[in-house]
Amino acid sequence: MLGSVFYWALILVLLGITYQDYKFRGVSWYLFPLVLILFTLYYKPFHNLEIFLYSMIANLIFILFQFGFLILYFRAKKIGVKLLLKKYIGFGDILFFMVLAIILPFPFYPVFMVTSLIISALLGLIFYRKTSVPLAGIQSFCLVLCLIIDSNFKVNDYLLNFNLWS
């Protein structure tokens, strides 16, 4: 019973991130630690601390490489890091990347990031040509879909199994 409360609270907070990012192009900072707490309470990743730490370190290395390539790409376009962080990628996006790097299992995190970034880019080309893309919101919605698929269809695929911790 308590697990389902955490699950639905997590879904609602993720949908709140989606709504806020879509509507205001910004997300309240406290929603990100709340996602971290609710995800931890629902999935209990600390049960197997070794796998949890391995996943978190691998995910953080992946995100560092991702940011490194992003910075190199924008430097090649003569855009500095300050402008990159001010105009092209929001602080909420970075916070969401970090939260996801902590809570998602390693084989799922890179696949999720690449897939959700492709979806965001496609939606950006179709719907957000003259405005910024609500990246954290789109990724949050993608995560909601993954959570619903995982809990309702009991997908035991290694990449979509959030219960790697147990």
Instruction: Quote the pLDDT of residue 131.
Output: 80
Residues in contact with 78: Cβ distance below 8 Å, sequence separation at least 6, in sequence order: none
How far is residue 151's CA from residue 147's CA, in Å, rounded to a whole number? 6
Q: 2-11, pLDDT tens digit by residue?
A: 678 999 999 9
What per-residue confidence (pLDDT) applies to 93? 93
Task: Tell me which of 81 and 16 has the higher pLDDT.
Answer: 16
Q: Taking residues 55-60, what's their average pLDDT?
A: 94
Q: How far apart are CA 118 and CA 124, in angstroms?
A: 10
Domain ranges of the chain: 2-165
Give me the phi and psi of 90, to 5 degrees please.
-90, 165
Residue 16 has what pLDDT? Answer: 98
Could you give the 3-state DSSP secondary structure of residue 132? coil
pLDDT digits (tens, 9 = 90+) for 14-45: 999 999 999 999 999 999 999 999 998 888 77
Q: What is the pTM of this model?
A: 0.88
Mean pLDDT of 66-76: 92
Per-residue pLDDT tens digits for 85-137: 888 888 999 999 999 999 998 888 999 999 999 999 999 999 887 788 999 99
Q: What is the pLDDT of residue 108?
A: 87
pLDDT at residue 154, as a whole number: 65
Cβ atoms of residues 10 and 35 within 8 Å = yes
Q: Sorting pLDDT into bands at 50, 70 and 90, what band is 161?
A: low
Categorize the per-residue pLDDT at 152 as very low, low, confident or very high, splitting at 50, 70 and 90.
confident
